[in-house]
Every structure is written in structure tokens, then in C-alpha cells.
Amino acid sequence: MDRNRLLTEDELAEQLALLKGWKAEEGKRIAKSYVFPAFAEAVAFVNRVAGIAETMNHHPFIAIDYRRVTLRLTTWHSGGLTHLDIDSAKAYDGEQNHLLDKE
Ligand SMILES: C[C@H](O)[C@H](O)[C@H]1CNC2=NC(N)=NC(=O)C2=N1
């Protein structure tokens, strides 16, 4: 399957239903905010996200606002949302759960 192909609205709705806390923005991006107990954990999470992004060669927009990290995903070369964005969101959420396990 071509993971660079733009998702249809139905595909996007289906995929978002499988993800927790990710919201579509103008049908072109998906975004999620994660809140951590302290700034240091927020930064550690961003470093994990960076490692995943490099491995997948698919990079999110990242905002760190003290303990809140907001990630935004879109596939630049496709001009919208693809399976690459969904795959990335799942990978980041996996990292997040890992962090929660630690607490
Ligand atoms: C050359 C390199 O493969 C491309 O620029 C990659 C890098 N990371 C990327 N990240 C995202 N979100 N979309 C892209 O189209 C993309 N393309």
C-alpha cells in the first residue's frame, strides 16, 4: 500500500477513532498535546519523538510549552494526511505509554 497516498475523509475518521487524543485540523493536520509532571519529562519525551521521527524519516511540528508538548503531523510532500502521519502518531503514543508505565 502506498503510505504516501492522501487519506480519504472516511479513512482519516477511521484511523483517528483508533488513536487517543489526536484531533484533525482543517483535514490537513492531526495534533495532540501531552502534559508531563515536569519540564524535564516533557523535554525527554521530545527527544524520544525526535529519535522516532529520524528513524521514520517523518517529522512532526513540535511545541514545548513548559510541561505541555504539542505535536502536529502532516505529510509535506503529499500536501496533507497520509498513513505516514497515522503511523507516526501511533509510535509517539507508544512512547507516551512507556513513560506512563514508568510512573
Ligand atoms: C528528504 C526527506 O525524505 C523528506 O524531506 C521527508 C523528511 N520528513 C518529512 N516529514 C513530514 N512530516 N513530511 C514529509 O513529507 C517529510 N519528508
Strand partners, 75: 80
Q: What is the CA radius of gyration of the chain?
A: 13
Using DSSP's 3-state secondary structure scheme, residue 62 falls into strand
Cα–Cα distance between 35 and 42 in angstroms, integer? 7
Which fold is adopted by the domain 9-101?
Gyrase A; domain 2 (3.30.1360)
Residue located nearest, by CA, to atom 4 of ligand 1: 57
Using DSSP's 3-state secondary structure scheme, residue 82 falls into strand
Our answer on whether the CB atom of 71 is closer than 6 Å to any ligand 1 atom is no
Residue-wise pLDDT for 19-42, tens only, equals: 999 999 999 999 999 999 999 999
Question: Domain segments of the chain: what residues?
Answer: 9-101
ipTM of this complex: 0.96
Strand partners, 82: 6
**CA 57 to centroid of ligand 1, rounded, Å:** 6
Residue-wise pLDDT for 66-87, tens only, equals: 999 999 999 999 999 999 999 9
Our answer on whether the CB atom of 57 is closer than 6 Å to any ligand 1 atom is yes
